[in-house]
Chain A
């Protein structure tokens, strides 16, 4: 299940539709005792689609993040972990449209210590940054970024990062840093945001996720605590995240803990 292709995803989305139709509402269906494993897992997978990025932009982002966090023995690449969808959703939402950004002028360039001073929200940074990077690629290699060899892709990414490539309407480094920052976010953020698919990022490093209560184990020094990670959706939907594994008891305890009411004295 770790490396679902986009096609597999679309198929699963179809199954999910069926499962919803026969149930009495999702929460009941998702109780571990209410359905067998297959439809439950299928239901959890939301159909994914791009809403902000255009097709050429999708191709650029998928190609770029596949280089930024490539596939290795520890986990799939950022692309295969759904991070392009994460970036798309962030761009379409509050952050992409300038939430929490002070938007009043006058605008002028500042020092590095003064930080971001562009009259641009993240949507524009991506749109212009991608178009101009692709223009640079076409001029240099006759193809857009996504069609380049990985060696040339890396060369372009280094060029944006290190200032060797200048883009006309956007600082290349600001564009690159935002793209890299978002890629890392998407790889490690809760899967509910569209990336970190199947908790690939968390599994790679051994992060246990959100069901966290460690009073009894924190002083077990130098003994790795490794469990299958738990995401927000797992807990909200009342699922035992991993019914078949040896760590089962620990998980049950952690999830129970999160639902417990006995936290406060008296």
Chain B
């Protein structure tokens, strides 16, 4: 039996970064918001307290904070000819569950996308011709960097981002990223400290004529109070960010930056342990009336709402759209339909530099601590002589060297035994990792749909992921590997271990939780699921937030981008939608 509840103004499906931002902004504006979160309620005190939170086995290896595959996972195949099989252990990417979502166990690398990213297709065609896309179905976003700048700024200040501006209102700033789009002001907090690894990379990069700068970070560098009065502590470089919660109140998260703001208004109602299974439409199919969810006791509820924000992480967003019949499912055979279209990811090309006589103290660090180079990103360099579109940013990050997962050995070392142990002991603290984090273009055959066979614990079909690298990604990786080798020489490493990525995308190897697309934004309902305000083209009171909206992936990590879009979306809803509910475009 389903219990029908009293109607509210707003429901968010999921309470992570996007759900938290929607809650803060709409409750401040006086709306009654219900946050439905499938996982537990959890907060710094006591859930992220030391010493337990510094438990590599529990959090990093056994994935204490992540989505439980026993209940809900995805099926995967490289192409449509294969039968997709369930990802029985989630390991290649790690969606979150519980209050704050993956915003609890993220690293905090905080990037604004380049102005070029928003015009990937048109800018590429204009400068190099259509062939440069190598058959990619990448699109423009239907919005520009300039339009979004105030929303990026809002996020930077809400989250207390630490960095050095490279371009303030068109004036290049020494020490920052000269390639970034113009920002309206400096970061709210100074950049992070520099590790020895970062220092060596900075010197080598300069020697090669590149332009290094400190990576922008959501690991807050000094005690900070955001414009809404939310308070942060200062990072102590403990080296436990990625996959952990932060005990110092220093890694920006929904719990710190936005959820307390919503709570303070008295207009926010958080319900945890509530898994949404469907968005219900009225008889016209053009308006959503409610969501259905199941609570921890197994009771089913229907929660009516005027506005529904789908903020459940990209993969869960796309699945809920498909099971609820919102928008036309994408069909790779015809190239028609929009839900599931343009699924992309991140292409990482890694390298390790080994030194015989250095000490890096690599166990010290912070999730987003690092030195970056943007000379090979986007269209920051001439692509006439290369066979791919877009690029990568290079990073020497110092995120902490927890020993179960980090114990690099030079190529050729056996995988166990006396020699392996000897090399582990020798190089544990004598190595630097470098990564080229690269963009991924969209292709017709890479998409998301509902699996015909496998189901989750609620009886819903699993989301099926069909994905493989395309020519842009593999060619990009080859190019970046050469650059990483060059840097290895310039940095005077004793051993340089770099290899380009080849072969198929492998769902078992962790390569970021930067799953992208499937409900993309754009200016044409024929090839996008939501308009430039993140509003469903088909059901006007459903807003789909998160990386699901990116038409293809930039080289950068996605969170600042999707949080800026969340601010942009809510601002427009408050300004334009609530007075005249209906299509905004």
Contact = CB atoms under 8 A, between A and B. Distances in A.
For A110, A204, A225, which residue has the most chain B Cβ atoms within 10 angstroms? Answer: A110
Residue among B401, B407, B504 with max Cβ neighbours from chain A (10 Å)? B407
Interface string B493-526: 0000000000011111000000000000000000
Interface in B45-78: 50-52, 54-57, 61-63, 68-70, 73, 76-78
Contacts of B236: 212-215, 257
Contacts of B239: 212, 214
B458 interface: no
B208 interface: no
Given A210-B55, A266-B231, A218 B421 contact: no
Contacts of B479: none
A113 interface: yes
B364 A188 contact: no
A210 B404 contact: no
Interface stretch (B191-199, B371-379, B565-573): B191-199
A112 interface: yes
A202 B56 CA distance: 13
Contacts of B86: 102, 104
Contacts, number: 203
Nearest to B247: A263
B88 A218 contact: no
Interface stretch (A9-17, A35-43, A63-71, A137-145): A63-71
A193 interface: yes
A68 B86 CA distance: 31
A154 interface: yes
23 contacts: A67-B417, A70-B417, A95-B62, A99-B70, A101-B69, A101-B88, A104-B86, A108-B85, A111-B78, A114-B87, A115-B87, A116-B88, A190-B56, A211-B50, A212-B238, A212-B364, A214-B236, A214-B237, A215-B237, A222-B360, A223-B361, A225-B361, A232-B52
B78 A264 contact: no
B82 to A, nearest CB: 7
A68 B70 contact: no
A154 B225 contact: no
Closest 8 A/B residue pairs (Cβ): A265-B223, A210-B54, A205-B428, A221-B196, A235-B51, A115-B508, A212-B238, A224-B359
A133 B413 CA distance: 25
A110 B85 CA distance: 7
A100 to B, nearest CB: 5
Interface string A110-133: 111111110000000000000000
A201 interface: yes
Contacts of B62: 95, 100
Contacts of A222: 196, 358-360
A8 interface: no
A232 B54 contact: yes
Contacts of B240: 212
A22 B361 CA distance: 43
Contacts of B421: 69-70, 72, 74, 204
A208 interface: yes
B77 to A, nearest CB: 7
Nearest to B365: A218
Contact of A263 (B90, B249, B429): B249
A218 B361 contact: yes
Nearest to A195: B57
A193 B63 CA distance: 16
Contacts of B364: 212, 214, 217-218, 225
A201 to B, nearest CB: 7
A115 B51 contact: no
A6 interface: no
Given A264-B232, A265-B232, 12 more contacts: A70-B421, A72-B422, A114-B507, A184-B407, A205-B403, A210-B50, A215-B234, A217-B364, A219-B194, A223-B361, A265-B224, A266-B231
Nearest to B360: A222
B507 to A, nearest CB: 6
A180 B508 contact: no
A236 B404 contact: no
A221 B199 contact: yes
A232 to B, nearest CB: 4
Interface residues of A, number: 68
Contacts of A193: 57
A154 B416 CA distance: 10
B453 interface: yes
A114 B76 contact: yes
Contacts of B507: 113-115
A207 interface: yes
A218 B429 CA distance: 14
Q: Counting chain B CB atoms within 10 Å of each CB, which of A113, A116, A161, A264 scores highest? A: A113
Interface in B387-430: 401, 403-404, 407, 415-418, 421-422, 424-425, 428-429
A198 to B, nearest CB: 15
A106 interface: yes
B417 A189 contact: no
Contact of A185 (B61, B223, B453): B61
Interface residues of B, number: 77
A264 B236 CA distance: 12
B363 to A, nearest CB: 6
A152 interface: no
A224 B57 CA distance: 25
**B54, B194, B195 — which one has the most chain A CB atoms within 10 A of its CB?**
B54
Nearest to B425: A74
Interface in A166-225: 180, 183-185, 188-190, 193, 201-202, 204-208, 210-215, 217-225
B55 A184 contact: no
A32 interface: no
A257 B50 CA distance: 10
Contacts of A213: 236-238
Contacts of A159: none
A72 B418 contact: yes
Contact of A214 (B51, B238, B403): B238
A116 B89 contact: yes
A29 interface: no
B417 A117 contact: no
A186 B425 CA distance: 16
B193 A219 contact: yes
Nearest to B91: A115
A101 B90 CA distance: 8
A59 interface: no
Given A102-B70, A207-B401, A113 B89 contact: no
B471 interface: no
A265 B51 contact: no
Contacts of B429: 205-206, 224
Contacts of A148: none
B233 interface: yes
B143 interface: no
B418 A258 contact: no
B529 to A, nearest CB: 27
Contact of B428 (A70, A180, A207): A207
A103 interface: yes
B54 A264 contact: no
A222 B505 CA distance: 37
A204 B428 CA distance: 10
Contact of B424 (A101, A205, A258): A205
B78 to A, nearest CB: 6
Contacts of B235: 215
